[in-house]
């Protein structure tokens, strides 16, 4: 079975937080005992009990075991090819919202139709708990969206990106081009979303790469019509 890469594990650890003593869960799951990296009885063994203590090594082992169900769900439900970062971003999402929500989501429906580019914006629709927007969830969705677009050109299944030197895609996705635009865009995104620092830049990266994809598609369409 496919496993979550290190980038995905690190992201999940960051947003779940590490608790070596059992505690009552966050506002969206009051009264539910949690330990390690977001482990509860609902995920399976080990059972969580009041006063329970574990080591960091045990917490990581529990996390990897808990992720196996999420990894299986992503493998089973997603019908299109995913790179390692895309797979990891979806595992993080499923670990947070649950398989049932993922199965019925517009995100999965659009992705399976080949619309890779819609995933970051679809992730951002899952930022509420008990009917209220939670900034922590918004930040996590932004981080998952950032991981989704990291390390590869994201395109529709109907587009075959040309990455040869001198092509439109290679020019648009050069690190120095993306880096310059992201640096100039971070402040704008932060002003619009209220996010600052790394979160603002993560959101900027998603917007910039989406814009690069759109530009590529427009230029390709013009080229095709002129062919």
Backbone angles phi, psi at 92, to 5 degrees: -60, -45
Spatial neighbors of 31 by CB under 8 A, at least 6 apart, are 24, 25
User: What 3-state DSSP class applies to 19?
Assistant: strand
Angle between helices 6-16 and 135-149 (to 10 degrees): 170
* CA–CA distance, 95 with 173 (Å, rounded to integer): 31
User: What 3-state DSSP class applies to 165?
Assistant: coil
Spatial neighbors of 108 by CB under 8 A, at least 6 apart, are 77, 78, 102
User: Cis before residue 46, ω within 30 degrees of 0?
Assistant: yes
* CA–CA distance, 89 with 23 (Å, rounded to integer): 26
Active site residue 75: no
Catalytic residue among 16, 71, 122, 144: 16
- Catalytic residue numbers? 16
């Amino acid at each position: 079975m496919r496993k979550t890469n290190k980038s995905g594990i690190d992201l999940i650890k960051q947003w779940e937080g590490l608790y070596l003593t059992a505690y009552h869960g966050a506002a969206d799951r009051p009264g539910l005992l949690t330990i390690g990296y977001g482990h509860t009885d609902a995920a399976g063994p080990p059972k969580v009990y009041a006063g329970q203590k574990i080591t960091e090594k045990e917490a990581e082992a529990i996390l990897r075991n808990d992720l196996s169900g999420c990894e299986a769900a992503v493998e089973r439900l997603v019908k299109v090819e995913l790179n390692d970062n895309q797979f990891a971003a979806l595992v993080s999402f499923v670990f947070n919202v649950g398989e049932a929500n993922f199965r019925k989501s517009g995100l999965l429906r659009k992705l399976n139709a080949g619309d890779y580019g819609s995933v970051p914006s679809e992730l951002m629709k899952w930022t509420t708990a008990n009917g209220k927007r939670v900034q922590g969830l918004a930040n996590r969705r932004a981080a998952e969206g950032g991981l989704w677009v990291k390390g590869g050109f994201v395109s529709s299944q109907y587009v075959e990106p040309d990455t040869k030197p001198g092509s439109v895609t290679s020019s648009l996705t050069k690190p120095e081009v993306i880096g310059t635009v992201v640096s100039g865009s971070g402040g704008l995104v932060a002003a619009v979303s209220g996010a600052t620092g790394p979160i603002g830049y993560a959101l900027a990266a998603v917007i910039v790469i989406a814009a690069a994809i759109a530009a590529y598609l427009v230029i390709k369409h013009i080229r095709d019509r002129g062919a």
